Chain A
Amino acid sequence: MNAGETCRSCRLRWEESRVSDYGVSHGACRVDVFAFLQLLARLEARRCLKDIEPRLFAEDEGPRHGDVEPWRDLYLCVSGKTELLYHLLCRCVLPEAAGGLEVDALFVDTDYSLDMLRLVSILDSRLSSAGLEEAALRSSLSRLLVVHCSSSSQLLLTLHYLETTLNSRPSLALLLIDSISAFYWLDRCEGGASISRQEEKLSKCAELLGRLLRDYKFTIFATCHTIRRSCSGLAASRSSTLEADRPYLCRPWQRLVTHRVLCSRQEAENHTAGGSREEKRQVFRVHCSSSSSRTKASRISSFCVTDAGVQFI
């Protein structure tokens, strides 16, 4: 392992030595060295989600600690992004015996859109294919925390409170926000004519998340709705596609984002299910690009949605 690597243990070891120097020399520091080391011990336990979905992210470009990913569906209708979000969530909370990562996740539901029944049916089918029972479902579900927010102020305050949750649950490694753009129009209207007032809340949220990511090293996935329809429909030309998914959220948020995943729905294709019945199945295309300073990489993959959730093809 070399020094430039983002490997968790290297980075932590480096930070640990720096922190203890800092604590000794800097008298004004409010937190004593002991508390800091304890904090680092907690960080050590927080798991890196680099291999959360190898089929989605380009090789060696999986989300590391401190990454944020928003995605948006390019075309409306059945949102492939919700399914993708459930897929990643399941991967996190499932026990290792069922191919999961066994970490805690916090789901911030700003749209009131979390479909628990759907989530449970995905979990259930994955658990039963691994031969696990009802008890495993309960323990998987207890690894998930859900928060409903109904305004951007509440979202901001809830994110402030997140720090307490992060401290008390060292295995919390994933924060999902569905969706970060839910209050976009409300904020725009409330802010009146001044753009900075319109974007104030989300900017504050983004700044806070930036700080938390730095201090606690977890991963955030956020969804972002398309707010414009691409006018030329599914066979959109490249330029109008870009126009439709131009980022519209505030700058601090854009700066926070390291990977962008774009979901789009392809034309439904016919395929033979079980050899007997022709069934229409929808195929979704995801385009994942990372905009980190290290490298520019992108990867395109496709998936379809089945009873057991997302299946990559």
Chain B
Amino acid sequence: MVGLQEGMCPGLDGGLLRSLLAADVKTVEDLVSSDLEEVAQKCSVSYKALYAIRRVLLAQHTAFPVSGADLYDELLSSTAIISTGNPSLDKLLDSGLYTGEVTELSGGPGSGKSQVCFGVAVHVSHQLKQRVIYIDTTGGLTASRLLEMLQSETSDRDEQMEALQRIHVFRLFDAYSLRDRLSTLRSGGLLQASGGGSVKAVIVDSVSAVISPLLGGKQNEGMSLMIQAALALKTMAKDFGVAVLVTNHVTRGGRGEVQPGLGASWSHIPRSRILLERTDRAPSGCSSTLRSATLIKSSRQPCLIKEELDLQWWSRSERRSSGKRKRDEADS
């Protein structure tokens, strides 16, 4: 809703504004959808003047149509695929996180959502040398864990510090501050927060931790907050060309099947969704780092494909050889 203000456009002076307000035309929408002839009579201004104002206001406030061909060209030049650093995850996502899109990881407690987020953050900041914004809503992020992961990547202390500096962390513990932070980031704060230099990934771990407590019951404020946060994430992804990774919890449906949380309205938000689960193959007694990842929503790949994911991948020192061995084992 955009209220009418003096000087918004040429011709809309104080006198006219007062008579418009008196005629119950308070917002741009009111003016645009009203019968101009009637309003002109009520406010005793010329139809022509009102018509001109309406045209200018429309031009100022509408979204302009873009040709599909131009949009495609722009997309080709701006889209980047950001590798997550883990081959099985990349395979599921059709080679990585796409900029301009929201990707979701869902899974129960201990399914490795946060570990994947850490891994992606470290990989993007160290290997790809890009900035990362990490919004932590659970308090689960510790710098020491990131450092540990970095130490397995490089032994150079300066490089480790540089990589850590490229990860910008916000700790927010309620939905309101999440929404406000996302809105600030969307309206240009993204560039400032990173201290110059382009941000390529925004990670929210976890989006459900702050939003799910507000859902349910008869009030719809929680839903509204969730959609606002979602819209902010989506527009940020599109406008700044960043890849957004969010995590979600899981619930059980009527027949006991596992499904991502936050309900039906949220399910339209992420472009790709991955469900992380513990595997049954884990030997009893020791906690395995193997997880199964299932692609449950995608517009590029056939759904329901499964991959085995090793959480240790990101903190391996000799990643190439050990990874190969792992795959050989899996094949045999």
Determine the residue in chain B with the shortest Cβ distance to A112: B234
| Contact A116–B231 (Cβ < 8 Å) | no
Let me know if B264 is at the binding interface, CB within 8 A: yes
Please count how many residues in chain B sit with their CB below 8 Å of the partner chain's CB atoms: 53
Contacts known (A78-B298, A157-B62, A201-B29); A113 close to B69, Cβ less than 8 A: no
Residues on B with beta carbons closer than 8 Å to the beta carbon of A55: none
| Contact B303–A282 (Cβ < 8 Å) | yes
| Contact B227–A186 (Cβ < 8 Å) | yes
| Contact A208–B297 (Cβ < 8 Å) | no
Residues on B with beta carbons closer than 8 Å to the beta carbon of A154: 61-63
Residues on A with beta carbons closer than 8 Å to the beta carbon of B2: 153
| Contact B264–A188 (Cβ < 8 Å) | no
A65 to chain B, nearest CB (A): 21
Residues on B with beta carbons closer than 8 Å to the beta carbon of A45: none
| Contact A78–B71 (Cβ < 8 Å) | no
Let me know if B255 is at the binding interface, CB within 8 A: yes
- Comparing B82-90, B131-139, B218-226, the segment that makes contact with chain A is B218-226
A85 to chain B, nearest CB (A): 12
Residues on B with beta carbons closer than 8 Å to the beta carbon of A263: none
Taking residues whose C-beta sits less than 8 angstroms from the other chain, chain A's interface range is 35 or more
Let me know if B296 is at the binding interface, CB within 8 A: yes
A106 to B299, CA, bound (A): 21
| Contact B264–A138 (Cβ < 8 Å) | no
| Contact A185–B257 (Cβ < 8 Å) | no
Residues on B with beta carbons closer than 8 Å to the beta carbon of A234: 255
Let me know if A20 is at the binding interface, CB within 8 A: no
Residues of A212-241 contacting chain B, CB below 8 A: 225-229, 231-235
A246 to B171, CA, bound (A): 40
Contacts known (A112-B234, A186-B227, A186-B228); A144 close to B68, Cβ less than 8 A: yes
Contacts known (A146-B71, A185-B265); A77 close to B238, Cβ less than 8 A: no
A157 to B2, CA, bound (A): 11
| Contact A78–B297 (Cβ < 8 Å) | yes
| Contact B235–A112 (Cβ < 8 Å) | yes
Contact with A along B78-101 (1 / 0, CB 8 A): 010000000000000000000000
| Contact A82–B227 (Cβ < 8 Å) | no
| Contact A227–B264 (Cβ < 8 Å) | yes
Residues on A with beta carbons closer than 8 Å to the beta carbon of B253: 229, 233
Residues of B243-267 contacting chain A, CB below 8 A: 253-255, 257, 259, 263-265, 267
A199 to B55, CA, bound (A): 26
A79 to B226, CA, bound (A): 20
Listed in ascending order, the chain A residues whose CB lies under 8 Å from chain B are 76-79, 82, 93, 106-107, 111-113, 115-120, 138, 140-150, 153-154, 156-158, 160-161, 165, 179, 182-183, 185-186, 188-190, 201, 204, 208, 225-229, 231-235, 268, 279-282
Knowing that A141-B72, A147-B66, A161-B62 touch, tell me 5 more A-B residue pairs with CB under 8 angstroms: A79-B297, A116-B68, A153-B1, A157-B62, A225-B265
